[in-house]
Amino acid sequence: MKALKPVLAVVLIAVLGAFGWALMWPQAPAIMITEATATPMPNGALVLAMTLTNLGDPDRLTGASSPEGDVVIAGAEGDLALPTGSTPKLAMDGAHLILTGLTGQATDGRLIPLTLTFQTAGPATTRARLTPPPAQMAHMQTPLDAPTGPSVSLTVTPQGDTYRVTVAPQNFRFAQDLVDGPHQPGTGHGHLYLNGLKLQRLYAPQAVIGALPRGRHQVKVVLNTNDHRAYAVAGEPVAASAAITVP
């Protein structure tokens, strides 16, 4: 037994050392911010867009700030909840950030520091690259009026702590192979939103939303053309919505 003592001591030291390194090593953030851009608008404000990847528990975006100007959340239709395992986007066609009062010049390529605050994960920082507006932005923001075009309905079914979304379109076909191509009547894709936050594109009639924070949430789908315009009837997007209440 005495001969084993040195071996046990070495093992114990190795375990304690590994534990110490784990404590010292920086932990990966629960929410990652990528693809952050700042797009100038005609009124001088900047639209801030980015992808948020939630690697942790259900969370909420509660605010944003920058030392380079004033930042507010725009386009939200309730609390901006981030489901577990989701990669939603702050984007012009949904909830996004607006920066006003930019200090200095709005020069292409300039990096603007940002801090986003989440209810559970806390603050997370990034830098948004200032980029010119896309050439097709005005076109993409103009709905395609199709009075005899598609319609859609939406149901949400709880499955454990997740939610299955089922989309039932009429006179419409999901066509992932045609995305980014010219408009073809009755084809396209969907945009799935949660309280105004764009969760993902839909190329099929079903999707899954991860675990959500407590409260009431509004799920909405909007049908879009291959060239990213919303289908519309009398100027209103072809859309459907359903509510989720998490006790």
pLDDT at 211 over 80: yes
Q: Please, are residues 127 and 111 in contact by the beta-carbon 8 Å criterion? A: yes
Domain boundaries, the chain: 31-131, 150-246
Positive or negative CA dihedral for 13, 16, 21, 24? negative
CATH fourth-level superfamily of 150-246: Immunoglobulins (2.60.40.10)
Predicted local distance difference test score (pLDDT) of residue 140: 67
The pLDDT confidence band at residue 129, using thresholds 50, 70 and 90, is: very high
**H or E element: which one contains 190?**
strand 187-194
Predicted local distance difference test score (pLDDT) of residue 28: 59
pLDDT at 16 over 90: no
Strands 144-145 and 122-130: unpaired
Q: Please, are residues 7 and 100 in contact by the beta-carbon 8 Å criterion? A: no
**SS3 readout for 54-92:** ECCCCEEEEEEEECCEEEEEECCCCCEEECCCCCCEECC
How many angstroms separate the CA atoms of 77 and 101, rounded?
25
The answer to pTM > 0.95 is no
CATH top class, domain 31-131: mainly beta
Fold match flag (31-131 vs 150-246): yes
Looking at residues 12-33, what average pLDDT do you find?
A: 56
